[in-house]
Chain A
Amino acid sequence: MTRHAAAAERPELQQGFSPAHLPFDADRVRADFPILQQQVYGRPLVYLDNAATAQKPRAVIDAISNYYLSDNANVHRGVHLLSERATGAYEHARTVVQRFLNARESREVVFVRGTTEAINLVAQSYARPALKPGDEILVSILEHHSNFVPWKMACEATGARLRVVPMTDAGELRMDEYERLLGDRTRLVALGHVSNALGTINPAAEIVRIAHARGVPVLLDGAQAVPHMPVDVTALDCDFYAFSGHKLFGPTGIGVLYGKAELMNRMPPWQGGGDMISSVTLDEVRYKTLPAKFEAGTPDIAGAIGLAAAIDYVNGLDRAAAAAHESALTRYAEERLSDFDDVRLIGRAAAKAGIVSFVMASAHPHDIGTVLDREGVAIRTGHHCCQPLMHRLGVPATARASLAFYNTREDVDRFVDALARVREMFA
């Protein structure tokens, strides 16, 4: 693995790259997030549900607002000034994403609604036409339903088989099993870059290298990776990469599918409509080329502009310092939880990104979530859209605190104090 690729997977390795490595000032960046300034139930909000959706800096809110206040028009259509501005801003957003992912060309960036739609696009347009009975798609037990159900559907429609890479008890992908399951019939590997339920960082570059050695393309679900670490799709050499804007401090409703041009050029459009055609007659429809052929209809223009603003914001941070700050907070939270004899941490992978998932002997995750909420602490409880994983872990649900760079030690202390209240009530 190259040093660069290793760094893409292990944010802590990046500390060495930062020329002047200063401690991350979380209090300063918090001021950029208006929503974090509020009180809930009479106490300052502690927001630890970032893996579900992250909060938005004022720069993102302003970019969306300014677009509607002064530039709103449809894209790729009008000859008037506003349409030219809107088109320029929308296509600029594509370039911002291209640079963010270090993709070779901007046409390899397709705007979609989110990670789920990105994966469905590949399942519909790449997998379904290619799959024959007996072919296989390889996922893992760690997948979010969005990287499981679309493949299950494609398999059911074609007679192909979904194979599932198991994990260790610590929540790490079993690489030996991954190699074993990659077979002659494997047509695609679809794996999460970072697990939303456990925080495990998968060795993405190694996953791609092994699959490519057998001629199998790889899709990476990067929804939980991009908020925590720089991602370089050229270094990773993955064939598809999907992520959502809203987990990256951008708006909901916008996401990205990156795909290598040579693959996406061969894929048929998956939705028909305006903006994706070059000509339509009663007898024949000709489609546009990338990326327009995958963007039927008026896109989420404001969303793309908001996403670009979010990427600009994130690029303005010292990302290595932010990742180090998140790692330190995660370790701190895990240390403090180890004082609770009735708390069991779920997911102890060596490489983790910002997730503290746990169960408590005396209280069900739902009850933990309700008590914490009234203490002003927002966490997620439930199966995290990972029912096969919950089944593997033998729990119906977990409680999950998920961190972002704007969280502080005080946030973790408030979270742990609230858990002490839970224990008081239920033990």
Chain B
Amino acid sequence: MSDLRELYQEVILDHHKRPRNFGSLPEANHHAEGYNPLCGDRLTVQVDVEDGLIKDVAFDGAGCAISRASASLMTDAVKGKPVEEAERMFEEFRQMVTSGVADAVEEGLGKLVVFCGVREFPSRVKCASLAWHTLHAALESKDEPVSTE
């Protein structure tokens, strides 16, 4: 069970059960839909960007504990941040859940570091990164749904 606790850390289970920034964001000016064909999960990310800052962000949809907690923690992490910083975090997050990153980078990711255990579960990497891919698409305001494939 110890490996499982590495994956399903308390923070992840908490955000899964009580997701933050969950629902719709009527004042959003960017949005995108994400889709993971492997499990059929869909989620929507809505962002209100003003003067290059992520003023507010929300997500909606159904998914596993990892994808839901990742979306929830992501929205907390990027809210109030400049768009470029969110994009940098996306890149660092992606590296962390696939190949791993230096301790200093991990520190910079704050609470998101709870997802470092995901890299021991290759079949779940897409679950953790779906929200970030969707946020990235929303910020670029691509109209077509993004897919983890």
Residues of A within 8 A of B (CB): 363-367, 370-371, 374, 381-383, 387, 390, 396-397, 421, 425-426
Indicate whether A397 sits within 8 Å of B39 (C-beta atoms), given known contacts A370-B4, A425-B13.
yes
- Identify B1's interface contact among A366, A396, A421, CB under 8 A: A421
* B8 x A396 contact (CB < 8 A): no
Q: In the complex, which residues of chain A have a beta carbon less than 8 angstroms from the beta carbon of B13?
A: 425-426
Complex interface residues of chain B between 10 and 29 (CB less than 8 A to chain A): 13, 16
* A365 x B66 contact (CB < 8 A): no
Q: In the complex, which residues of chain A have a beta carbon less than 8 angstroms from the beta carbon of B4?
A: 370-371, 374, 425
Kindly state the separation between the CA atoms of A381 and B16 in the bound complex, as whole angstroms: 19
Q: In the complex, which residues of chain B have a beta carbon less than 8 angstroms from the beta carbon of A374?
A: 1, 3-4
| Nearest 10 interchain pairs by C-beta | A364-B64, A366-B64, A396-B40, A383-B40, A367-B65, A397-B40, A367-B64, A366-B39, A382-B39, A374-B4
Kindly state the separation between the CA atoms of A397 and B39 in the bound complex, as whole angstroms: 6
| Interface contacts beyond A364-B62, A390-B40, A396-B40: sample of 5 additional A-B pairs, CB < 8 Å, sorted by A | A366-B124, A371-B4, A381-B39, A383-B39, A426-B65
- Looking at chain A's contact residues, is the secondary structure mostly helix, strand, loop, or mixed? helix
Size of interface on B: residues with Cβ below 8 Å to A? 21
Residues of B within 8 A of A (CB): 1, 3-4, 7-8, 13, 16, 38-42, 62-66, 121, 123-124, 127
Which of A363, A370, A421, A426 is the most central at the interface, judged by chain B CB atoms within 10 Å of its CB?
A: A370
Kindly state the separation between the CA atoms of A387 and B38 in the bound complex, as whole angstroms: 11
Indicate whether A366 sits within 8 Å of B66 (C-beta atoms), given known contacts A374-B3, A425-B4, A426-B13.
yes
Min CB distance A194 to B, Å, is 22
Q: In the complex, which residues of chain B have a beta carbon less than 8 angstroms from the beta carbon of A425?
A: 4, 8, 13
Q: In the complex, which residues of chain A have a beta carbon less than 8 angstroms from the beta carbon of B38?
A: 382
B8 closest partner in A (C-beta): A425
Min CB distance A197 to B, Å, is 12
Min CB distance A77 to B, Å, is 41
* A365 x B65 contact (CB < 8 A): no
Min CB distance B11 to A, Å, is 14
Q: In the complex, which residues of chain A have a beta carbon less than 8 angstroms from the beta carbon of B124?
A: 366, 370
B4 closest partner in A (C-beta): A374
Kindly state the separation between the CA atoms of A413 and B42 in the bound complex, as whole angstroms: 33
* B39 x A365 contact (CB < 8 A): yes
Please name 14 pairs of A and B residues whose Cβ atoms are closer than 8 Å in the assembled complex, sorted by A. Answer: A364-B39, A365-B64, A366-B41, A366-B64, A366-B127, A367-B65, A367-B66, A370-B4, A370-B121, A370-B124, A374-B4, A396-B39, A396-B41, A397-B40
